[in-house]
Structures are given as structure tokens and as C-alpha cells.
Structure 1
């Protein structure tokens, strides 16, 4: 019996996952992988930490070597081979050997496309020598080597200045600082784009003592998150000495005779003089091969597949970052560049290719009968990023994303220690839970903190995936020890607050709504804002126009408040405000609301 041949294009996450699964399912399939890079199956998420030096050896990033992987799973792996054309009707590929330049054809019975993504760039740049990307291991090596070269050049230029002010030959760290009143600033490293990869590299630049500036075109870092979370991260980065320029676009630049960018000019009239420019504005799906052969691609540039990961051709599948994925909450196609999704899709595609071959009679069928197709119905986009020692997690929709498609979108903001407050080492976690205020369905969750963000995000991801009601969180039984949790976990607290909301036991006003009221003086006259914290807390900072009425003396001071006016109460994190809310309601105050998230959500400065 002639073996059926499966060709896989691409050998990082989805491709190698598929190859290993396919071989485990059968020894009677010929499997060939074409990869245009020299490395396969590497930990791309670890590249920033190789650049920083936290991961010292490039070999530590290699999950599998070509030799080991090919021998273990009997694979024909061709590295440094670029597929240049797919002929789906005649089932063959055109391939170019990137080492020799030779071109040849190869035929397949089934094809799996896992071509991943390419980094996005700005069209007016001309591949200047100090522009760096971070997509492959080779990119990481180039970036790390260039940083080392930059340090050496700057040290040679002015060793004395280096000892006093840092390595920047243009200026000192003070030259970056507050740029609001400056027309020109200098920076060792300029990061264009404040998404995941740009922010993850900040640790690398900081470890190398590079003064760093970030330019972001939108109004916040991590644009897919809510500002209720990212504002804390921005405050944290500012305290780390990172300069963040938001609502800022590049309009032109200048390069020197060495083909290095020496100045960048922004839409705000600012000139930045960088030594290194890192492009972190995102990635785009590598769809050229698919598009050129008639395989359908979507509005976001990814390959369109069904839930079995099959394209419009019965014998061609696609998986990983190059495909568009159904967002299970918005029912919209998105590009989720997540290794967790890619590896799952690779496995599913392999199982379905195997079933296709088996059902065609080319492999002895399983005695139990034909297997059902494995399906990938979509994703909720669970992700996490670590910047220095700060973790930022998200699953499901952000509040702003949900509001666009669901008029019943609401949120609960809480601030809770990572474990019991009396046990040493507790760190505050700031959390936002997005839900449907009519049905109770959880729609999204975001968190930022130094500890346990992954745990909280994972719990909420499972809850969202299983379509849980937010009130059910109150009943979750979670592991507790003072060193790693609380008797009432923060997840339980979110559920209890939701129970109170649905039972009419509390009402909230969001910070942005209260700020709009204060800014508009006319409606502000109808409100009284009550701060129920202690005098020391109030003195350290409070909301404009608020009156101090500490909770423990509030009951005896109620005559100072007007029952007919709209009342907003707040404390530090929310609990004392809730107690005050119940007290005021019990004493006949008609219109009372708690400030959602209380003062920490108002100020959004916590990481000192």
C-alpha cells in the first residue's frame, strides 16, 4: 500500500504540534516539513528574555532540534527551504532551497499551512541598519548583538560621561524624563508600538541600561485592554524611568551616512534622536501563498478555515497565527497570535487529516468505527504579559469591546491582595470583570499586579469558556492558605458583589461617569461626594469636592448630609463604601451609589 503524503509548511508551534500528533496516530503516513528559517520548534515567547540575558543560551529556546525531532517522529524536515507557490488543483508545491538556490516541485496528498505571521513595519522606512524586529531567533541574535555594539560604541565615545550619566552618548537620563515642555529628546532605544512585544522588551533595554522611549499611536499602552488596567501599568513604567508618548505618530525621519536613523519627527512636533529603533507595531498573517492560489482570506488578512481547520479545498488545512479565529464572545473573526492556540490547532488539524486518510481506506480503520471530526470552534483570547515584575492578564472581551456589541455591558472593579493581608509579601491585584447586567453572563476579565494575576485570569477563563453566571463565582471552592489566597478569595468577592447588584443591595457609578459629572459644573451641584476613609488617607489625596466623613463616625454625622441630593460614597477599595451605602440607605437616603472600584480606581496609581 502506497503511503499517503502530508506536507506541512512551517515548523514553529502549529506545524511541529501537527507533525508530532500525526506520527503518533500512524506510522503509515509520509510527513514532510518545509521551513524557511534555520530553526524549528522554538519558544518564540522567550525571545525578549534571550535579548535581556535572562535566558543566556540560544539553545535553551529550542524545544526540538531538527535532528532529534526528525528521528523521534520519522519526519523529513527541510530547513532553509521556502515554499514559493501552491498548486492546489494538481497538489504540488514549488520550493526554493535558500542555501543553494535550487528550485524543485514536491507533491502532496494533504497539505497543512502553518506559515504564521510577519512583523508589521512603517512604509517610509528603508531598512536602515538600526531598525530591529523580533520574530525569529535570528532576529533576537541580531538585536542582542546590536545592543552590545551600541554599548561599546557609546562607551568608546565618552567613557567619563558614561560613568556619570549612563551610556547615552547624546545625553543623560534626565534628557528623557518629562517631555511635555521639550521639542527634542534623546534615547538609546526607541520602541514604536506599545503592544505585547514592545513592552516585553523594556526589561531587556533596562537591563542593558538603555534609556528608552515608547511611541504609541493610540491613547494608551496595550490598546486591546481597558484603561482601568493599563493606567496602573503606565504609572508603573513611568516610575521605572520609561518615557511613554501616546497619541503620537511618526511623520518623517533622517538617516546618516552609515544608514542609521538619527532623528525621528512626530506629529506632535517632537524630535527624537535614537540609537536603536525597535518596530513593535504588531504582526500580520503570512497569507501570500494561500492568497495567490485561491485559498480564501478574510478582512483581517488571515486564512479562512471551518471549525475543522479545513480551507475551501478538502485536502488543504491551515492552523496557527496565519488563520482567522472566531471570537466566541463577539462572534467576529480575529487574529489571535497566541502559541497556546497555535499548538492546539496543530493537534486538531493533524487528527482531522488522519481521519480523512483513514476514512478513505488508506489506513486500517479503527474497529470502534469512524471517529468524529475534532473541531476548533473559536477562542476567548486568554493572554498574559509580564513587564519587569508586573503581570497583566486578560481573557474574553474588554469593557470597551463589549460595549460595542452588547448594550447591557457592565463591570465590577475590585482591588484585592494576592493573599491574606496579614501574611508577609501580599501584593495588590487590580481586577475588572465585564458581564451582562441582565443575564449575568461573564464576558471578560482583566487584571494587573505583581502576584497571582495568572491564577485569577485562568479561573475566569474557565468560567467564561463554560458560560458561567457571574453570581456563581461566590460559590467557587478555591484552594486557601494565608501564603497564597484568602478565605474569601477575590474571585468569590466578585461573585458576592454581583449577587448584591442583582439583588438590588448596591448600586455603582463608574469613575468615568463621575468625572464627567464633576467636569460639567451644572449637574455637579446635584451631587454630594462622601469620602469615608480616615483623615490621613483623605489628606494624602481625595476626589475634588468630596467631604470627609470617616465610616466609624458617619452614623453620628448624617445630619450634615442632604438626603434629597444624589450621593456618591467611596473609600480606598470599596468595602467601607459599601457599608456606608447600606447605612445611608437604611437612614432614608434615596439616591446613593458606590464609586466602582473606589479611590484606587479613581487614582490608578499603586505600584510604588
Structure 2
């Protein structure tokens, strides 16, 4: 028998290899348009991200190796152009010569796969725009991004490939924006509320996703510069078009082949409507295993399974059982930044459209023993038929092994399992792998409780649609966690609950839903019959409360210590202080702050007088997620309380008068004393300013401690000529230089500004030593105090830093709770303080001082 196979990626090569193993006497000829065969199309995004380092790793088999391994003839660079099914002749064009060739067959297998759908928009062929379907696509895209040092990318399409590429581009350091025409990510794959969780997660991870957005034009001339869309223009240096795939079947038009939207319709034996012509893989329309309805499922996994089954059918060796392909479940899994997403079977929407009386539940569980390192969560949605309890579909989200949850579901779906079939399933358990009751079984229990009435709940989808309207939210957490909401301690409910009427409509909410269910069970016993549990609770849902919930004074004080000051015009919104280390941040940090403001705050950013950036309008519940987001960018919040405050500095050596590198010095002060003393409580706030010269742009003498860069001239009097018109004398802004008795003299009014250095034509002022002036006891506000300058000019940075530390230690040791450092200096006397700062006794008492329980409240109110 002579079998010709068109297509050499997944289904084609699998058919060829299995067919030759089944019957070596069959002549198998595999022709393919590409130069490569059996390449890992699903691995292309990971090549772009650098996880797969070389192009060779993407190619499973070369044509030569495959031919030698299987015995099939492999012809590359041959594109199918026509089919005469009556004559059993396939026509193909040699891409090297352009010549037409004919291939006669006894059996023909069409496995031409699918190609990336290219959006028909202007500019789509500008250099810098790539699709993602072949190894060449991935190689050229990665090379282009590296060669052009691309910093921004736009991905068109939020399906599997689009989101995988987005993650991998971000890993390469690019800022990524995804445009999706549908109103959710991965449309048709996940139900809306699951997709919404994924969308929110991507936003938190810094991948911007614009839904219901149409890409209208690619901008640029010689290379791409941006994308114009219905949501505005987005600058970028590379575009990935990942707007789905289309079957490669155009050459079959006019042949009489039955097709639906370009996909070849096949039966259970993979036969087309044409005699002795079969199809498999991404070009074939198979059926849904559950419903029997036609389904197109272009996945590498199903393509391989179809190819293997087809080979057994063609060989006639059914090994005692007639072979047929049973259909697909649409099983898929995708890796996103810190979140894996899997699904199989029917979505809730699909089940309802097909007439099932579907019931579902979302359960958030541990993915392994909660005490085991790296334990995380699974958010599992189960869909079942209400009457029969037959499992219909599963969707799982989580940072860990969601694939094992999906694989359990696939096995159950293949066997028409009911929920009860999983109830006592003896799945593998050990703390590193699972919980004692498997997470899948826990999810089954939740749905069973719902079916038998033990659990009354709202699904996240119902909650998003407003089903909880009119319900009073009750915080069922272990400790109060939802601001402005009545907290009910489950462990103390032994009868009627004060403040709750038995007829009230109560929505019970905790972190995941489990504790809320326990509270519902207890409340029902005591006559509260109108309660609902919010499935997934706060870990899955965006909780809506009536109006603005008032944050307790205790919480206002607590988060103030984290750098969040309440906006007094609101009840539950805060302004977040992001420490910028003297006002200097990188472009990446600036971008992270902007993204954080967009995701967690009002989208507005302000700058304080202390050169700290503030993200405005952060709701109370967003405080911890915001801090986590910023920490991943190396940023921290704070700058409040009775502690050392963030350092402020001028431009330093970038200013024409700057004597010192203020950024480098203030960075070191920040590291040693803001970060190093972050847990040390002081009587009040302690502010430090660093100025590069005596111009005092940042007012060092109005801070608790101020440092001014000095340039101490090293005078060589032997070179002084005692000129009648002295250039040094003329240039001195302080009038501290004067020629006396034929030699230049500097008075005590010299502030070491350095203007005189190199002004003497005879070299008397050619050199200077970098130094530092220190002011102590300044303050600004309701009371103003100008700091006094220590008598010594410090010319050693370590000695200077030692004085800074001694000033902090003195304030802690000898200051009175609630007073500012200026008050301490005035009370003790400047000379006494100066004497202590110039000795080492404070450092000798450091350990005792730091460990003392002092100033636990402090005097700072902001």
C-alpha cells in the first residue's frame, strides 16, 4: 500500500512513524512545505524568552534522522497545490525549482496543520512585526529584539500563544502591552470570572492587558514604532501578532472536500467525504468527546493522538478492537507569570448553551500541605450536571501543578464519572505533593455540599452579576480583615449574634470561603436561614461593600507605619509614599511606580517636598498587594513615623557649584541609617538633607541634620605674590579672602564653597580637599529653627558618617519622647551636643541604646 502524508509537524509525523511500526511493508511518503519537520511549535514562546537557548532544541527530528528512524520517505520544500480524488493524485510544487510534481496514492492523509492568522490591518508587514508559528518566527523575533535593544512590546491577541509570548518578552526585560478584541483573555477557553482573575493577575504582574480593544494600524516607517488601537496609541519596538490560527487547507478549495471554516470534516475513523482521503491535526474538524458535536481543537497533544489512532486505522491492525478516534475535550494548560491555568471539558457557558442543567462551584484550596515550603493555592471551578452529578468540565488556576488537577478531571471525563466517583479517591499524599484530602476531592466536596443543600452560596460569576445586591457583608475571617464590615468570630457563636437579625440577608466572606461555610453551618443551627457564602471569598473576588467602609483608627495607625497616609477626604483611601532614595530612580522603577498607580491607586502620582513619590488614592484592601508589587521592582514604602526619614539631596556634582557627589553620599546614608535603623524608634522624626555646596538648595540647616559639601582650599603661601588686585579676593562671595601684609588670608567667615580654587594665576590656590560641613538642630514647620554648624570641617567620609550615626544615637538616648532634635539640642546645649558628637562614647553605648525599650509611641503624626 502506498500512503502519502501531507504535513510534517505533529499529526503527519506521528501518523508516519506509527504506520511504519505497524506494517513495515507500507510505503509511506511524507511531504512538507517547511524545511524542518517535527518541530516544537508550542515551545516557541520559551525560545523568545531565552528559556530554550538554541534553535536546534526546538527541532525534535531532522528529515534525515526521521527517515532513518522510521523508514518513511521525507520530502521537504514541497507545497501541496491540488488534489484529484478520483484519480488519487496529489499535486505539489517544488519550492526550490517551481516545478509541479504529482504523487499517486492508495491512501492520502492531510495533516497540513494551521498557520498564524495575520490581522488585516495597515502596517502589518513593517519590519519588527512577527507572528509566532514556526521556529523561524521565534528566532527572528528574538534576534530582532536583541539587535534593536527593544524595550517595549505589543502583543495582539490574549490567547495561549499571545499570553505565553507576553510572559517571555517580559522576562527579557521588555514592557509588554496585550491588545485583545474580546471582552476577556482566552475567550471561549475559560469562563468569564476565571478569565477575570487571570486578567487581574496579569495586571498585577505588570503586563498591561486592554480588553475589547481592536488593533487598527501598525505605526512606523523603516521599523515599527507603535500600534494604533481603539484604546489609543501604544509605543513599542516590536509587535507579535498572535490573533489565533487558520487551517492550511486553501489548496483543497474546489476539490469537493467538505470543510467548515477551512477545517476538514472527518468521522471517527478520520475519513473525509472523499474516498481514501483522511485528515488529522490542526486542519481537521473532529468531535467533542462529551457531546459528539463537531469541535476544532488545534492542539499539539490532540494532533499526536489523532495521528497515532489514524495509523492504526490505516494499517488495519486494530489488535482485536475496531479503532476510532473518540474526540477531544479541549484540554489545555498555559504558564503565565506566577500563575498556571488549565482547563478541560465544557465551560459553564458551553454547558448551558448545550442544554445541560449545569451547576458549578469555585473552591480555593491549598495545593499542598500549608506548612510545606512553597505551598500555594488552587482555584478550582467544577461544572457538573445537576440531575446526574456527572462531571462536565474543570478549570484550575494556581502557581503550582494545575496540570495534575486537570489530568484527574480528564480521566474522570473519559469515564463518564460522577462527583461521587471522586469522593473517596485514594490519591497520592505527602506534604510536598498534596493535602491529606486531595485538592480535587476538596473541590468535589464543595460542589456536593452545594448540591445537597449543606452549602448555600453565590459563585463568583453570580456575584459579579449582582446576585448579592441587598445582602449585608459579614467578615468571617479568623481575625478582622475587611474594613468597615461587621466581624463575627466563628469560635464564639453559640447562639444569637449581637447586631444580627435572623431574617437579615447575610453574605459570609472570609479569605477563601471555607471559614465562611463553617460560620454558615453554625448560624443556620441558631436560626439564621438567609445566609450565603461567597465562593472563593476575598482571595478570588473583588469584594464590593455598601459605600466606603471606614478604616479603624488602629488600622490607620498601623498602615501609616508602612508609608500609607489616609486621604482625609475619604474613609478608606490612602496615599502611598514610595521611597526614591533622594529622588533618584531608574526608568524601570519609574515605570513600576506608574503601573502600580494604575493598578492599585487612582492613577495619579505626586512628589513630596522630601523627594518621595506618592501614589494617590489607594483603597485599604490594595495596600498589601501594592507593597508586594513594588517590592518585586526593588522599591519600598515608608518614610513615616518617629524614625530616620528618607534622605533628601540636591543635584550635587551635576550642579556647576557642586563640591561632592551628593547622590552617592545620600545613597550610603540611606542604606546605613534609613534602612539600617528602620526598626529603631526615636523621640520624633529625624530628617537628613545633603547639599552639594553652601548655596543650600535643599536647606540642610533646616533639617535635624544637614550636610553641606565643602571644598577646603590648600593654600601654598610661598606662591602668593600679594597682588594689589587679587583674583581670589575678588571672586570670594563671602568676602573671607583678603591680602594682608603681602599674603592672602582667609577669615573664619569662609564657608569652603571652593570658588577660589584655581583662581590664583601663580598657583597659590591650585588644590583643595573635599570636605563636609555638618549642621544640627534645624527644623521646618509650625516652629522654625536654623541648625548650627559644627566647628569641624570633616574631610573623611567615614568620619562624617560616624557623626551622623552619633547624632541619631544621641537623639534616641537623650531626647524626650515627642520632642524634635532641635529641642533636644537646645535643652542640652549646643556645646554639650557638639562635644558628644566629636567623641566616641555614644558609639560605645550603641548596643545598650538600641536594645532599650524607649519611645515606643514617638511623637511623629505623619
Q: What's the TM-score once normalised by structure 2's chain length?
A: 0.61
Distance in 2 (alpha carbons) for counterparts of 1:293 and 1:236: 48
Structure 1 regions of 5+ residues with no counterpart?
152-166, 169-187, 356-365
Find the residue that maps to 1:560 and give its secondary structure. Answer: coil
Indicate if the aligned counterparts of 2:363 and 2:446 stay in contact, CA closer than 8 A.
no
Indicate if the aligned counterparts of 1:471 and 1:496 stay in contact, CA closer than 8 A.
no
* Greater mean deviation of Cα atoms: 398-407 or 277-286: 398-407
Report Cα offsets for 1:499-535 as digits up to 9, x if no partner. 3233322222223434544786xxx1xx333221144
Shift in CA distance, 603/100, structure 1 to aligned 2, threshold 3 Å: same
Bigger radius of gyration among the two: 2
Please report the RMSD computed on the Cα atoms of aligned residues, expressed in angstroms.
Answer: 2.2
Q: Please say if 1:50 is aligned against 2:14.
A: no
1:80 aligned residue (63, 77, 80): 77
Tell me what 1:532 maps to: 476
Tell me what 1:391 maps to: 340
User: Matches of residues 22-421 of structure 1 in structure 2 within 5 Å?
Assistant: 22-125=19-122, 126-151=124-149, 168=151, 188-223=152-187, 224-256=189-221, 258=222, 260-268=223-231, 270-298=232-260, 300-355=261-316, 372-406=321-355, 408-421=357-370
Structure ranking higher on relative contact order (CA contacts 8 Å, 6+ apart):
1
Find the residue that maps to 2:494 and give its secondary structure. Answer: helix
Distance in 2 (alpha carbons) for counterparts of 1:513 and 1:351: 47
Tell me what 1:490 maps to: 439
Tell me what 2:492 maps to: 553
Structure 2 regions of 5+ residues with no counterpart?
544-621, 630-862
Indicate if the aligned counterparts of 2:263 and 2:285 stay in contact, CA closer than 8 A.
yes
Tell me what 1:174 maps to: none
Shift in CA distance, 534/29, structure 1 to aligned 2, threshold 3 Å: closer
Indicate if the aligned counterparts of 1:413 and 1:601 stay in contact, CA closer than 8 A.
no
Distance in 2 (alpha carbons) for counterparts of 1:55 and 1:230: 28
Distance in 2 (alpha carbons) for counterparts of 1:111 and 1:133: 30
Distance in 2 (alpha carbons) for counterparts of 1:266 and 1:51: 25
Tell me what 1:358 maps to: none
Q: Please say if 1:9 is aligned against 2:6.
A: yes
* Residue 489 of structure 1: how far off its partner (Å): 1.3
Distance in 2 (alpha carbons) for counterparts of 1:206 and 1:79: 35
Find the residue that maps to 1:530 and give its secondary structure. Answer: strand
Distance in 2 (alpha carbons) for counterparts of 1:13 and 1:192: 26
Tell me what 2:568 maps to: none
Indicate if the aligned counterparts of 2:126 and 2:218 stay in contact, CA closer than 8 A.
no
Tell me what 2:399 maps to: 450
Shift in CA distance, 253/79, structure 1 to aligned 2, threshold 3 Å: closer
Q: What's the TM-score once normalised by structure 1's chain length?
A: 0.85
User: Matches of residues 562-601 of structure 1 in structure 2 within 5 Å?
Assistant: 562-601=501-540
* Residue 556 of structure 1: how far off its partner (Å): 5.2
Indicate if the aligned counterparts of 1:228 and 1:432 stay in contact, CA closer than 8 A.
no
Shift in CA distance, 402/486, structure 1 to aligned 2, threshold 3 Å: same
Tell me what 2:825 maps to: none
Report Cα offsets for 1:396-422 as digits up to 9, x if no partner. 112222222235212111111211001
Distance in 1 (alpha carbons) for counterparts of 2:319 and 2:450: 50
